[in-house]
Structure 1
Amino acid sequence: MYKNLVLILLFLSSFALKQDNERIIQFNSRKIEHNAFKVGERLVYDVKYQFVKVGEAEISIPEIIDYNGRKCYRAVFRVWSLPFFSVFYKVEDRYESYIDVEGIYPWRFEQHIREGGYKFDFYAEFDHVNLIAKTSEGVFPIPQYAQDVFSAFYYARTQDYSNKKVGERVRLENFYKNRTYPLEIKYLGEQMVKVKAGKFKCVVVEPLIVEGGLFKAKGRFLLWITNDDKKIPVKMTAEIPIGNIVGELREFEGIENIKSKVD
């Protein structure tokens, strides 16, 4: 009897999953063609506070997963403080996003913050069919293709900045906690940047963050990305309440044919 009951439950659960997957698969997703990133990409950064290295960060796409019937990049961002700095202020943050391979928008987002004595955990599941986000804080409406604070970083890398004029902006919608915020990416021009990973021709952009970014920006947040189809983040600077944070690319893997690399 128990064996039959288990079989029935398995059948019902698989049927329910099939129905849910069919609903998601039938979603008429946008398609974004790009060569900016792929599975296996890994970027490692030195994090400096007031010119002193205090931590490291890693941004990676370790795998492609199937999530609710959609192929997704599992993208991970981690930042941690070095032992000497952890004595004063320990940082161990982790962000994770399941980003639709076809349309570059999120299906799930997780945020785990450990900074000093502060602890915060947040998750959101994005339903782009019914236009809602189910989060750890409730259920909220979202616009079509709303980004999370991490997936927005990848979406920005798919944009073409070659014909942009200084001051021109790319606009997207960024959902965080319980509402959607406008997020604009302002084009500032071109610049050569040298870091441990090499010397690169870059474009400079400024994400105009309202809330919920990878850094809690007090002032400006600037991003240098390679001036090619990869748009690799080479350098980041952010003004935070306790000073200036700088992230510089130290090493990378899983990336080929970087046209903007000078040496």
Structure 2
Amino acid sequence: MKFIFLFVLAFKILFSRFESAVEFQQEFEKFDKKFNTSFIQVGEELVYEVKYLFFKLGQIKFTVVDKFIDNGKEFYRVRVKIDSYSVPFVDIHANFDAVFDSRFVAQRYYSEMNEKKYYQSVRYNFVEKSSFYVVEKNYQNFEYNTKGKRVDTVKVMTNYCDGPSLFYYARSNASVQKTMVLPTFIEGVKGITIINFGKKKTKIKIDALNRPIEAYEIDGKASYVGFFGLTGDFTGWISADEKAIPLKGKLKVIVGSVIVELKSWNFDWKPA
């Protein structure tokens, strides 16, 4: 069973059937403008717990590994680590290493996923001059003793974010009232994420904090299946301060819904 990240977010929809709960117009994101990235600090670590009904399934950790300049452009490297707990129906361990620029355009990516009977790795690189991604996939099925490798060239007509960069894109735009249609590259496959930003400002309580704090609510849908089988609608809350920290998400998966909630962080933070 495939896994989801985070917040990011995964889903099955058609543009013509998307029903927005807000009144402002959808806008196609071309990732060609400057965004606020001041909240992305090297060393930042955010840990989330994933819950399904009364079960704690596992945790997701986001780490900002590096910030660097290449040919005059600013880039960020982030690492995502997903580990399931010892529960009967989930046994997944995955690592992601992604590089995106200050526009949140996906540049480089590598993932490894280990399940009890299956292993898969995905690597892709964006060739900007030619507007395509080179995607390499390797897999091994331990149950049937099979393995394989495939290399594809995926042509793109616009800029794409991916799972890790989408997480930070959402943080950058949480307070702005708009609906965005986002070209999204998930594990080497093209998809679409639609997010309603700035729906409302509210108070939310999570277990890791001793009081409710102010947060911006977002929601949306996506056209792909991600980790944990995430597919369909999602709702999230992002702190209404300069850190713009995703606090909690309600995500639809194939078997129902999961809650992803902030568990810990490694920096000084005074939420509003």
Give yes or no for TM over 0.5.
Answer: yes
Mapping for residues 113-124 of structure 1, pairs under 5 Å? 113-124=113-124
Mapping for residues 88-99 of structure 1, pairs under 5 Å? 88-99=89-100
Note if contact 2:221-2:232 (Cα within 8 Å) is conserved in structure 1.
Answer: no
Structure 1 residue matching 2:183: 3-state secondary structure = strand
Higher strand share: 2
User: How far apart are 1:195 and its partner, in Å?
Assistant: 1.4
Q: What is the match of residue 247 of structure 2?
A: 234
Q: What is the match of residue 196 of structure 1?
A: 207
User: How far apart are 1:252 and its partner, in Å?
Assistant: 0.8
Q: What is the match of residue 208 of structure 1?
A: 221
Aligned partner of 1:62 among 62, 65, 68: 65
User: How far apart are 1:71 and its partner, in Å?
Assistant: 4.3
Using the size of structure 2 for normalisation, the TM-score is 0.72
Q: What is the match of residue 132 of structure 2?
A: 132
Q: What is the match of residue 171 of structure 1?
A: 181
* Counterpart Cα distance in 1 of 2:219 and 2:229: 14
1:192-242 per-position Cα deviation (integer Å, ceiling 9, x unaligned): 221133232111212411115455323322221112332211011212122
Note if contact 1:113-1:119 (Cα within 8 Å) is conserved in structure 2.
Answer: yes
Sequence identity of aligned pairs in percent? 22
User: How far apart are 1:53 and its partner, in Å?
Assistant: 1.8
Structure 1: tracts of 5 or more residues without a match: 1-28
Structure 2 residue matching 1:218: 3-state secondary structure = strand
Note if contact 2:58-2:84 (Cα within 8 Å) is conserved in structure 1.
Answer: yes
Structure 2 residue matching 1:229: 3-state secondary structure = coil
AA partner of residue 95 (structure 1): F
Note if contact 1:128-1:145 (Cα within 8 Å) is conserved in structure 2.
Answer: no
Higher-Rg structure is: 1
* Counterpart Cα distance in 2 of 1:59 and 1:130: 31
Note if contact 2:174-2:218 (Cα within 8 Å) is conserved in structure 1.
Answer: no
* Counterpart Cα distance in 2 of 1:127 and 1:34: 23
User: How far apart are 1:67 and its partner, in Å?
Assistant: 6.4
User: How far apart are 1:50 and its partner, in Å?
Assistant: 1.0
AA partner of residue 250 (structure 1): K
Note if contact 1:225-1:232 (Cα within 8 Å) is conserved in structure 2.
Answer: yes
* Counterpart Cα distance in 2 of 1:219 and 1:212: 8
Note if contact 1:209-1:217 (Cα within 8 Å) is conserved in structure 2.
Answer: no
AA partner of residue 225 (structure 1): I
User: How far apart are 1:178 and its partner, in Å?
Assistant: 5.3
Higher helix share: 1
Note if contact 2:69-2:75 (Cα within 8 Å) is conserved in structure 1.
Answer: yes
* Counterpart Cα distance in 2 of 1:46 and 1:147: 24
Cα RMSD after superposing both structures: 2.5
Aligned residues: 224
AA partner of residue 152 (structure 1): L
